[in-house]
Amino acid sequence: MSETYKVVVNDEEQYSIWPEGRENALGWRDAGKSGTKEECLAYVEEVWTDMRPASLRREMEEASA
């Protein structure tokens, strides 16, 4: 039987997958998706379309305004 994973996200809107039973590290929260490793990776690929940290995206938007 394969292990179940969960998708986690941090305050910079960066994503990762962790084993389902693992407690989240400080600064990480559940993203609301769990399943097989492949399902979780597919979800991350779908939702994490801009790899830049959120703070950098905001900074660049302010600079171009």
What pLDDT is stored for residue 34 in this prediction? 97
What pLDDT is stored for residue 58 in this prediction? 83
41 in Cβ contact with 17 (< 8 Å): yes
What pLDDT is stored for residue 1 in this prediction? 60
Say what the pTM is: 0.81
Low pLDDT (below 70) residues in the chain: 1
15 in Cβ contact with 7 (< 8 Å): yes
- What count of residues does the chain have? 65
Cα dihedral angle (11, 26, 8, 10), rounded to 10 degrees? Answer: 10
